[in-house]
Structure formats: C-alpha cells, structure tokens
C-alpha cells in the first residue's frame, strides 16, 4: 500500500509540475487578449467531495458467489487522505469561441470505501453452502475499497454562458455546463474470505456524467470553477483475489478547481 501511495503521489506531482511549466511558458509567450482568439485552451486542477447511493456488490470466485445488498459507501472528504493521495481532479480542454462549445478531457481520482459499521443482506453461496441472511459486512468481506481510485475518466462536451462581465476588465462570470461519457479505471483494495488483493488498475466499466456550476475568469489568464457533478458508474469487472466482482452506483460530487487559459 505504501508503494502504491508513492507511485500515485509521484504521478500527481508530475501533473502539477507539468501544469506549472506550461503556465510559466505561456505567460511569456502570450501577448494578445483572450477575446482576440478564435479559441481558448485551458488546464485546471482541484479537489472534490463525493457521495454515493447504496449499491449491491457481487463477488465471485471458485470458493464463493454472493451479493451484498444495499451497501453504504463513503469517500475521503476533500483533503482528508486515508487511502493514499488526496481526491484530486484535473482537466484539459479547448473551447471554440465562434461555435460556442468545447471538448474536454477530465480525470477524477474519486475514492470509495464500503463502510465497516453496517450489516447487510448477504445472498449466495460460500463453500457450496447457501446463504440468505443479514450479517455484518465484515463476516466475509474484511475490506473492500477503491482507494487508489475508483477513477472516473471522461470526455466532456462543454458550454459556457456569460452571466456577468466587468466593464474594461478581464473578470467574467460564466454559467458552466458539461455532459460526458467515459470509463472507470479502479484500483481495488480488498480482503475477502481473508484473501487480499491490491496490485493493479483495470478498465472495469463505463460511466455517464452531467456537471454544472460557475466559472470565474480573472487576471486575463486565470479562472476558478465551482461545480456539482452527477454520474452513473458501472463497474462490470472489479479485480479481487482469485476472482472478480461488479457493482454500480449513482454519485454526486462538489468540485472546486483553479486553472490557466490561453
């Protein structure tokens, strides 16, 4: 787990350093005003708070095949990182000013913990014995979490609508709207029937997302965003020891990001 933390944190640092290099280079290279350009390239990084609906977790291997019903899950709550780096987000996009729409790549390092303080209906078989009972979740599942990411990877369609523009100023307040489709790429940390696995990322399924909020442009090249995002995520093949699992949920996120545009 420590190695995974170091690798992921190093990747995050590389992202931040790359963004700073681009910003520094662009500050020296850009001379014109944004309103004189046909399009706007932008990059941003930030963090979020996430909420999940209850979900069924189906787990299957050679020794068992059962479903945990209506499991409650939680995230890491902004900057409180209990399972590696903070829940970070970044985006890279281009907005076509004349056509008034943009295309954006968005990555959410979202985290999910199945809460230990709950009893859930467990239905299926364990060692060829049928089960249908309400049991503490830790009876068979000692740990189940996507803490090096439940990871949303999205391609977004973006629209901006100007709400307020300060006269003779670069300060603009926009309504921001996004719709996206993409993949979920989790790294799952699980201990099931005392067998542990936490070793690799995999493309586990798909998601759809809608996002809306406000974007504030200031100081010519900089902006800040505050948005709400709703998503449906379907994890069709989660990796566990000697088997696989699946689950799907609806999630809600509150995001805050800062960025640079030119």
- Residue 103 reports pLDDT greater than 90: yes
Q: What are phi and psi of 134, to 5 degrees?
A: -90, 115
Q: Which tokens hold the place of 259?
A: 């960025």
Task: Note whether 170 and 220 are within 8 A (CB).
Answer: yes
Q: What is the pLDDT of residue 25?
A: 46
For residue 218, the Cα-to-chain-centroid distance in whole angstroms is: 27
Give which of 155, 34, 153, 38 is closest to 93, Cα–Cα: 155
- Residue 208 reports pLDDT greater than 60: yes
- Residue 259 reports pLDDT greater than 60: yes
Number of domains in the chain: 1
Q: Which tokens hold the place of 126?
A: 């364990």
Q: What is the pLDDT of residue 219?
A: 82
As a whole number, the mean pLDDT across the chain is 86
Q: What is the pLDDT of residue 15?
A: 52
Q: What is the pLDDT of residue 23?
A: 43
- Residue 9 reports pLDDT greater than 50: no
Q: What is the pLDDT of residue 165?
A: 84
List the single range of 165-169, 170-174, 193-197, 223-227 with lowest mean pLDDT.
165-169
Mean pLDDT in residue range 186-199? 95
Task: Note whether 234 and 205 are within 8 A (CB).
Answer: yes
pLDDT > 70 fraction of the chain, expressed in percent and rounded? 82
Q: What is the pLDDT of residue 233?
A: 98
Residues in Cβ contact with 36 at an 8 Å cutoff, skipping those fewer than 6 apart:
none
Cα–Cα distance list, 54 to 59, 121, 145, 164, 224 (Å): 16, 13, 14, 39, 32
Residues linked to residue 256 through DSSP beta bridges, in sequence order: 47, 226
Three-state secondary structure call for residue 10:
helix
- Residue 142 reports pLDDT greater than 90: yes
How far is Cα 184 from Cα 108, in angstroms, rounded to an integer? Answer: 10
Mean pLDDT in residue range 156-180? 90
- Report the run of H or E that residue 135 belongs to, with start and end: strand 129-136
Domain that holds residue 225: 2-261
Residues in Cβ contact with 117 at an 8 Å cutoff, skipping those fewer than 6 apart:
none
Mean pLDDT in residue range 57-61? 97
Mean pLDDT in residue range 180-194? 96
Give which of 217, 243, 254, 200 is closest to 44, Cα–Cα: 217
Cα–Cα distance list, 257 to 94, 96, 147, 188, 222 (Å): 16, 21, 21, 26, 11
């Amino acid at each position: 787990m420590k190695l995974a933390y170091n690798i992921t944190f190093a990747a995050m640092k590389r992202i931040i350093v790359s963004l700073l290099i681009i910003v520094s280079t662009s500050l020296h290279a850009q001379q014109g005003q944004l309103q004189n350009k046909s399009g706007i390239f932008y990059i941003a990084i930030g963090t979020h708070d996430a909420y999940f609906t209850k979900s069924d977790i189906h787990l299957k291997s050679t020794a068992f095949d059962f479903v945990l019903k209506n499991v409650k899950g939680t995230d890491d709550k902004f900057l409180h990182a209990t399972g590696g780096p903070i829940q970070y987000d970044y985006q890279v996009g281009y907005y076509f000013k004349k056509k008034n729409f943009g295309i954006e790549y968005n990555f959410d390092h979202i985290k999910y913990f199945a809460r230990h303080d709950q009893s859930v209906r467990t239905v299926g078989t364990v060692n060829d014995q049928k089960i249908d009972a309400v049991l503490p979740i830790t009876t068979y599942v000692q740990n189940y979490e996507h803490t090096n990411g439940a990871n949303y990877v999205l391609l977004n369609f973006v629209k901006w609508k100007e709400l307020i523009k300060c006269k003779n100023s670069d300060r603009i307040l926009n309504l921001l709207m996004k719709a996206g489709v993409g993949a979920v790429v989790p790294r799952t940390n699980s201990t099931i029937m005392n067998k542990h696995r936490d070793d690799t990322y995999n493309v586990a399924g798909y998601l759809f997302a809608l996002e809306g909020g406000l974007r504030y442009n200031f100081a010519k090249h900089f902006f800040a965003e505050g948005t709400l995002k709703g998503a449906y995520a379907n994890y069709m093949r989660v990796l566990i020891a000697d088997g696989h699992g699946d689950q799907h949920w609806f999630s809600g996120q509150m995001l805050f990001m800062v960025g640079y545009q030119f």
